């Protein structure tokens, strides 16, 4: 267990090294936050209470999207490129004979990465957004706590999806296609472009049931106080359920894949 | 100049041939690029599923703004998109190898890893533009007919200048490629919505400070016969080529200064 804590701390520190990149990222998140916030203002001016949100909630959703973009890797990014490269080059063999489990190792690193991105690239744009716009921030400390739990679950589900994507490299020569599909589904089905409750009919129902909704839509609804009581329990169970299913699938796939590894001497 | 274009063609051609070695992968990533931009417009369509007008603009009117901005940005992204990797090259030291070759450095960086799949963005932009032009009931004059392609090409040149200017920043702040995205992707995102959506100060800023408005807002509003939120004479809509040329010149000068001041990180 201690080893994973060290790996997580390493993941945190590793991303904390890129100070200039973090500043640049904060700038970009803030710019996009402003642009999208204005378009949402126009949208909600036409239809107040669209999707069950008032204007303040809609604007909060915008800034949450920017804050969680990197935290929950909504558009991918993080360890999966590196893991794919290691699988392609055969360096994966080194990971496999470490006295630690492959999946847990990368999960720990990714949790560290997420923690840094939450503090580094989440809190600052959100604060700027709160100064510039009238946001609906939770009053009760319990809502904040529930949000943090939901956020952590979101990161785990996001990790589980990206781990599966990376493992695809064991079977594919070139992972660019899968990475791109993963990028697209994350972009659209996490609710980053538009809250999933604004998706019409069947598309909306499917989108809300898919694991990507656990990345942003569910934590955002918890933050906005849209999920309380048993509904909140249901929301967290939804996330935990997907985490469990996807992590177990990753586990099975990992053991199938590692049996395929042939280490060449040299 | 001619020499530079020839070099660009040769390097780009080489990369196209190398991508074509994996045809399935090329087809998939081109489709992916196309879809990524399609989702952009799908978002706008989903918004219009709930409202009839956004900031007083209908869906076809917004599509005109979107189509012009997306096509213009797509052109720059195809030709100069590789420039955003310059910080990486400075960091890992491979930038130095470009300096000793008898080909302009800018051409080498721009054509490096030329990605034909980026035409996906242009195709999507043109499709939305085509849809807007078919559906909209525009009172066409020869000047308006001329203005649309003129603005799109000038817009491409303007975004190109942004790419070059941004790459100069990366000489000095090597891992700040993200800032560039604010002006390129961010600029396109801004321009695909009507100007009336944004705060007056912001509109002024992107008209007079970072003249993004000349890419699509000003020309498109002239074509639509609508008033710009910031009072300006009508002929301003035709200034896009001049603005693009001016920005290009500035970016070129910045590039020269940046290259002269460049110090290798060593190995």
Record the tokens describing residue A56, joined without a space: 């303040």
Sign of CA dihedral B132, B134, B135, B138: positive
ipTM for the assembly: 0.92
pLDDT band at B31 (very low <50, low <70, confident <90, very high): confident
Using alpha carbons only, how large is chain A's radius of gyration in Å?
Answer: 19
Question: Which of A15, A39, A75, A207 best tests the B interface by mutation, with the highest count of B CBs <10 A?
Answer: A39
Q: What is the mean pLDDT of chain B?
A: 92
Q: Map residue B54 onto helix, strand or coil.
A: strand
Question: What does the alpha-carbon distance between residue A66 and residue A216 come to, in Å, rounded to a whole number?
Answer: 10
User: Hunting for tokens 């992916």 — which residue is that?
Assistant: B32
- Give the residue with greater pLDDT, A266 vs A244: A244
Mean pLDDT, to the nearest integer, of B232-238? 93
Site of tokens 């817009």: B155
User: Residue A236: which pLDDT band, with cuts at 50, 70 and 90?
Assistant: very high
Q: What mean pLDDT do residues A219-228 have?
A: 96
Residues B149-167, buried b or exposed e (16+ Cβ, 10 A)?
Answer: ebbbbbbbbbbbbbbbbbb
Is the pLDDT at A263 greater than 90? The verdict is no
Q: Which residue from B minimizes the CA distance to A132?
A: B199
| C-beta of residue A242 within 8 angstroms of C-beta of residue A213 | no
pLDDT(B264) > 90: no
For residues A27 and B181, the answer to whether their CB atoms sit within 8 Å is no
From B36, B175, B197, residue closest to A18, measured CB to CB = B175
CA-closest candidate to residue B259, choices B90, B50, B61, B111: B90
Q: Does A180 contact B at CB distance below 8 Å?
A: yes
Whether residue A86 has pLDDT greater than 60? yes
Residues B188, B229: Cα–Cα separation, whole Å: 19
Give B-chain residues touching A18 at CB under 8 angstroms: 175
Return the biggest CA–CA distance within chain B. Answer: 62
Asked if A188 is an interface residue toward chain B (Cβ–Cβ < 8 A), one would say yes
- Tokens read off for A252: 């099975």
Tell if the CB–CB gap between A174 and B36 is shorter than 8 Å.
Answer: no
CB A192 within 8 A of CB A250: no
Mean pLDDT over A210-228 rounds to 97
Mean pLDDT of A28-38: 96
**pLDDT score at B266:** 64
Count of Cβ atoms closer than 10 Å to residue B104 Cβ:
17
Q: Locate the chain A residue with the closest alpha carbon to B169.
A: A24
Residue A203 tokens read as 């598309």
A and B: number of Cβ contacts within 8 A: 103
- Interface of chain B toward chain A, CB-CB under 8 angstroms: 22, 24-25, 28-29, 32-33, 35-36, 39-40, 42-43, 46-47, 49-55, 173-179, 181-182, 186, 189-190, 193, 196-199, 202
Helix (H) or strand (E) holding B254: helix B240-261
| Model confidence at B70: pLDDT above 90 | yes
Residue A20 burial class via C-beta count within 10 angstroms: exposed 0-12, middle 13-18, buried 19 and up: middle
Nearby residues of A92 by Cβ (< 8 Å), 6 or more positions away: A83, A86, A261
B84 — pLDDT class (breaks 50, 70, 90): confident
Residue B57, beta-bridge partner list: B54
At residue A131, the pLDDT reads 96
Name the residue facing B36 among A23, A174, A184 (closest C-beta): A184
Closest residue to A24, CB basis, from B50, B176, B193: B176
Instruction: Find out whether B39 and A75 touch, Cβ atoms under 8 Å.
Output: no
Average confidence (pLDDT) over B95-124: 90
Chain A residues whose beta carbon lies within 8 Å of the beta carbon of residue B32: 177, 180-181, 183-184
Tokens of B35: 């879809």
Residue A11, pLDDT > 90, answer: yes
Residue of higher predicted confidence among B153 and B90:
B153
Please give the mean pLDDT across all residues of chain A: 93
Choose among A42, A205, A241: nearest CA to B54.
A42
Provide the chain A residues 193-222 that lie in CB contact (below 8 A) with chain B.
193-194, 198-200
pLDDT over threshold 60, residue A266: no
Instruction: Please report which confidence band the pLDDT of residue A264 belongs to, taking 50, 70 and 90 as the band edges.
Output: low
- The mean-pLDDT minimum among A29-43, B82-96, B242-256 falls in B82-96
| Residue among B180, B162, B157 nearest B239 (CA) | B157
The residue among A102 and B174 whose pLDDT is bigger is A102
For residues B31 and A152, the model is more confident at A152
pLDDT at B87: 86
What is the spatial distance between Cα B201 and Cα B212, in angstroms, rounded to a whole number?
Answer: 14
Residues in chain B: 267
Q: Do B90 and B175 meet the contact criterion of CB atoms below 8 Å apart?
A: no
The pLDDT value given to residue B267: 53
Measured CA distances, B72 to A121, B125, B205 (Å) = 30, 8, 20
Question: By the 8 A CB rule, do B224 and B134 touch?
Answer: no
Q: Name the H helices within B54-184.
A: 59-80, 86-92, 95-99, 105-111, 119-135, 142-172, 177-183
Distance CA A214, CA A231 (A): 14
Low-confidence winner among A164-173, A185-194, B136-145, B210-219 (lowest mean pLDDT): A164-173
- CA B150 to the chain's CA centroid: 14
0.95 exceeded by pTM: no
Q: What is the pLDDT of residue B22?
A: 83
Can you read off the two tokens belonging to residue B193? 């919505």
Mean pLDDT within A7-13 = 94
> A51: alpha, beta or left, given left = phi > 0 and alpha = psi -120 to 50?
left
B71-80 tens-digit pLDDT:
999 999 999 9
Q: How confident is the model at residue A90 (pLDDT cuts 50, 70, 90)?
A: confident
Angstrom distance (rounded) from CA B228 to CA B168: 33
Look at B116 and B159; give whichever has higher pLDDT.
B159
How would residue A172 be classed by pLDDT, with cut points 50, 70 and 90? confident
Region at A73 (left for phi over 0; alpha for psi -120 to 50; beta for the rest): left
Least confident piece of the model among A132-146, B84-98, B131-145: B84-98
Q: How far is B142 from chain A (nearest CA, A)?
A: 33
B182, B191, B192, B209, best to mutate vs chain A, most A CBs in 10 Å: B182
Q: What is the mean pLDDT of residues A131-136?
A: 96
The shortest C-alpha distance from A95 to chain B (Å) reads 25
Question: Helix (H) and strand (E) counts for chain A?
Answer: 12, 0
On whether the CB atoms of residues B164 and B83 are closer than 8 A, the answer is yes
Q: Are B33 and B117 in contact (CB under 8 A)?
A: yes
- A38/B199 CB distance under 8 A: yes
Inter-chain contact B193–A39, Cβ cutoff 8 Å?
yes
């Amino acid at each position: 267990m201690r080893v994973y804590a060290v790996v997580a701390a390493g993941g945190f520190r590793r991303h904390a090294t890129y100070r200039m990149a973090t500043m640049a990222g904060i700038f970009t998140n803030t710019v996009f936050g402003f642009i999208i916030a204005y378009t949402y203002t126009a949208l909600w001016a036409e239809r107040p209470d669209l999707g069950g949100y008032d204007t303040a909630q809609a604007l909060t959703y915008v800034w949450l999207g920017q804050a969680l973009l990197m935290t929950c890797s909504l558009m991918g990014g993080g360890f999966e490129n590196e893991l794919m490269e290691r699988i392609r080059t055969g360096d994966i063999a080194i990971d496999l004979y470490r006295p630690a489990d492959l999946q847990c190792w990368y999960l720990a690193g990714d949790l560290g990465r997420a923690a840094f991105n939450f503090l580094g690239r989440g809190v600052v744009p959100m604060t700027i957004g709160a100064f510039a716009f009238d946001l609906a921030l939770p009053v009760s400390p319990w809502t904040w706590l529930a949000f943090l739990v939901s956020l952590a679950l979101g990161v785990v589900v996001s990790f589980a999806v990206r781990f599966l994507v990376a493992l695809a490299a064991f079977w594919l020569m070139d992972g660019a296609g899968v990475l791109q599909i993963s990028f697209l589904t994350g972009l659209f089905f996490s609710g980053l472009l538009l809250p999933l409750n604004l998706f019409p009919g069947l598309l909306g129902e499917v989108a809300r049931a898919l694991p990507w909704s656990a990345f942003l839509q569910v934590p955002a609804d918890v933050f906005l106080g849209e999920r309380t009581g048993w509904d909140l329990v249901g929301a967290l169970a939804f996330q935990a359920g997907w985490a469990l299913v996807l992590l177990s699938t990753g586990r099975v796939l990992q053991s199938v894949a590692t049996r395929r590894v042939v280490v060449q001497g040299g | 100049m001619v020499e530079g274009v020839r070099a660009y063609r040769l390097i780009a051609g080489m990369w196209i041939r190398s991508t074509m070695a994996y045809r399935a992968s090329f087809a998939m990533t081109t489709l992916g690029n196309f879809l990524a931009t399609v989702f952009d417009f799908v978002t706008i369509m989903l918004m219009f599923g709930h409202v009839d007008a956004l900031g007083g603009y209908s869906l076809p009117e917004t599509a005109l703004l979107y189509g012009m901005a997306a096509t213009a940005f797509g052109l720059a992204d195809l030709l100069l998109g590789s420039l955003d990797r310059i910080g990486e090259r400075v960091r890992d030291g491979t930038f130095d190898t470009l300096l000793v070759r008898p080909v302009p450095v800018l051409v080498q960086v721009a054509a490096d890893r030329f990605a034909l799949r980026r035409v996906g963005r242009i195709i999507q932009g043109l499709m939305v533009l085509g849809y807007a032009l078919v559906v909209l009931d525009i009172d066409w004059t020869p000047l308006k007919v001329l203005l649309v392609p003129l603005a799109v090409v000038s817009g491409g040149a303007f975004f190109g200048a942004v790419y070059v200017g941004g790459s100069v920043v990366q000489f000095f702040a090597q891992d700040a490629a993200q800032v560039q995205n604010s002006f390129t992707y961010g600029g396109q995102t801004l321009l695909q919505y009507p100007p009336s959506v944004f705060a007056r100060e912001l509109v002024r800023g992107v008209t007079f400070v970072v003249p993004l408005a000349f890419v699509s807002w000003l020309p498109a509003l002239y074509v639509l016969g609508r008033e710009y939120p910031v009072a300006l004479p009508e002929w301003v809509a035709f200034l896009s080529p001049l603005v693009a040329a001016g920005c290009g010149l500035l970016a070129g000068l910045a590039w020269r200064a940046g290259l002269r001041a460049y110090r290798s990180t060593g190995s």
